[in-house]
Amino acid sequence: MLNTLSLPTIVIYMKKQLLIIISCMTIHVIAHAQNADSLMLRALFNETMSHSGAYENLRVLCKEIGPRLSGSANAEKAVQTTYEMMKRAGADTVYKQPCMVPRWERGSKESGFVMLHDGSKRMLKLCALGNAVSTSKKGLHAEVVEVRSFGQLDSIGAIGISGKIVFFNFPMNPNYLHTFRAYGESGVSRWNGPSQAARYGAVGAMVRSLSSNTDAYPHTGVLGYNDSFPKIPAIAISTMDAEWLSTQISNHHIKDVWFKTSCTMLSDAPSFNVIGEIRGTEHPEEIITIGGHLDSWDLGEGAHDDGAGCMQTIEMLRSFKALHLNPKRTIRFVMYMNEENGGRGGDAYLAGAKKNNENHLFAIESDAGGFSPRGFSLSVSPQQYAAVQSWLPLLAPYEIDRISQGGSGSDIENLSEIGAALAGLRPDSQRYFDVHHAATDVFESVSKRELDLGSFAMAALVYLVDRHGL
């Protein structure tokens, strides 16, 4: 056939044949790479699910140490304990990164009640909000006014608010499938509410607990005082009490409210992030960071928030070492301190990265509970997002292929300043706010299998980023 064709036609024909050969070779290489990745992910899955130490490590953290509020003795015990855990897991190096943290103490147990016009009273399930000031020794006694939005607060103004306790009744929207969206919307009442109430002369603030369901447990969390206004005592009440109180206010049955807290803010205290590393074999100067925060609120044991994320991180270190998986890039495993009421650990990590002029390629945090993983949220460029999408066939067999653009983790979000691509592990969120910041966040609320699945999910994504870049 070629003998009957002109020379230009032959050249064109040969080029087409060469392109076909190259395309076939490319497809073969890609298929081979995907098969190698698939086999490694299966090995990581089997190793994690069969030999994980995360659940036992979590038991130690929750039961032998307990709640770990920044600056507390328990927080310092957790620093040393996780330092030893990372050494046993096989890190090439483990070290402590200093940071100064706020030291807030709750003091003696809070109490409070609602007095009705008929002379009866109802005791409240309540707790002080984190970083709040206390009442006087006699407690705080005043009339209460309910608001359901900041717009309503503004419309009532000082005439209706001065000298009173403001009750912020901002329920989490049940119509959102993703409960973190509802938390973000309603959470402004806890963070900004007390100062906005003080702006109009309020003497105290009560916030409906940020919980998806109606229960009898108050949920704490940090508030943010605005220095332009007086700092007033602030508490959270259970969603059950919030529903009852709202009904009684609507029916004009409430006379006044009394509550007493004894919390205090002390001087900043020294603490540490705990960091372990596996050094990269080909590009050690490129850093991948994985982690969770070591501190927790003081009402429960910090099992889901965020003992789970810390133990998943250490388990990933163990599984990589167990499989002799030598990453191309340096992987850091970080236990951040002070996520809950200051963010100082994340700040210290960024400051260290800037000081050392480090190249941070990617960071992922697990801080959404130890429930079954569903996928990842990403704060990345469109090109990087497309790269992660190309891995979905590898992630789909493990049902961790739901990805969305936007969101990572509080401790790592500032790493975007130095060019890092960011991700957050996204477990099923439907039960998270049943335990979040409450006394119910205990070791018994965590499933071993779900905890291990989350550890594997992070390991899978980190493996793919390390192998292929981003």
Tens of pLDDT, residues 102-125: 999 999 999 999 999 999 999 999
- On the question of pLDDT at 432 being above 80, the answer is yes
In the chain, CATH 3.40.630.10 covers: 41-104+267-468
| pLDDT tens for each residue of 313-365 | 999 999 999 999 999 999 999 999 999 999 999 999 999 999 999 999 999 99
Bridge partners (DSSP) of residue 295 are: none
Q: Which residues contact 353 (CB under 8 A, 6 or more apart)?
A: 287, 360, 415, 418
Which active-site residues does the annotation give?
A: 339
CATH superfamily of the 41-104+267-468 domain: Zn peptidases (3.40.630.10)
Tens digit of each residue's pLDDT (9 = 90 or more) over 191-221: 999 999 999 999 999 999 999 999 999 999 9
Helix (H, G, I), strand (E, B) or coil at 67: coil
What pLDDT band is residue 16 in, cutting at 50, 70 and 90? low
For the domain covering 107-262, report its CATH number: 3.50.30.30
Go through 367-380 and write b for each residue having 16 or more CB atoms within 10 A of its CB, e for each that does not.
Answer: bbbbbbbbbbbbbb
3-state DSSP: the chain helix, strand, coil percent, rounded to 5? 45, 25, 35
Q: Is the peptide bond before 306 cis (omega within 30 degrees of 0)?
A: yes
In the chain, CATH 3.50.30.30 sits at: 107-262
DSSP state, residue 132:
P
The pTM score is 0.91
Q: Does residue 135 have a pLDDT over 70? A: yes
Q: Is the dihedral of CA 138, 142, 145, 151 positive or negative?
A: negative
